[in-house]
Every structure is written in structure tokens, then in C-alpha cells.
Amino acid sequence: MKNSKFKKKVEEVFNESHRTDLQTRLNTFIFYLKKINIDELTEIMSKVNIDPIIDKILETDKESLKKHCINISEIKNRLTESDFDKIRQICGQKGDVVVNKLKQLIDW
């Protein structure tokens, strides 16, 4: 896949109007999180307003995940500490808070 197509695809994952299925969005994000290096991911994410995404993560609780039919054990099994490090870097100053919240949500 060409780099520009790849970047566009990652940006689309975070576009609210692109997908309504949260599980699909999470699976896609995890796929790209594992596939590309942190520099490329940071560059791509710089084109996305990440603040609403961070706010949504911080507001989320386990009940809302269940309501959206999120398979928590699948997410937990797919994520590694390296993935959390990438998420921490992408989120900047709020990275530690976001990672801690995600780990709490999936009982890491």
C-alpha cells in the first residue's frame, strides 16, 4: 500500500462520519498501531484533532463498552506494552492519563 493511501486510511479511522461501528474502528486502529512506526503514526495523527478522541476515551466506562458490544478480551489480547507506549506518545501530554484509562477499561 502506498504511503499516502496508508496515511489517508488511518485518518479515516478517526473521522466520526466514516464508521459508526466502534469495534471496527478499534480493530482498525490496533491494526495500524502495530503496522506502522511511531514517527509515521505521529505524523498521521498530527492531521487529526485528537482532543475529542482523548475526551471520549476519558469519559468512557465499562458499561458504555458493553453497550457498544465491544469485545474487551479481544482488545486486551491484541494490545501489548509497546502499543501502549505508542498511544502514550501519540496523545502527548495526556498520554499517561489515556493509557491508564485504557488499561483500566480492559482490566490490563
Instruction: Count the domains in the chain.
Output: 1
Measured CA distances, 100 to 55, 61, 86, 88 (Å): 14, 13, 13, 9
Q: How confident is the model at residue 13 (pLDDT cuts 50, 70, 90)?
A: low
So what's the pLDDT on residue 3?
63
How far apart are the C-alpha atoms of 105 and 101, rounded to whole Å? 6
The pLDDT of residue 5: 67
How far is residue 37's CA from residue 58's CA, in Å, rounded to a whole number?
25
pLDDT tens track for 71-107: 899 999 999 999 999 999 999 899 999 999 999 999 9
78 is in which domain, residue-wise? 3-105
33-77 tens-digit pLDDT: 998 899 988 888 888 888 888 898 899 999 988 888 888 999 999
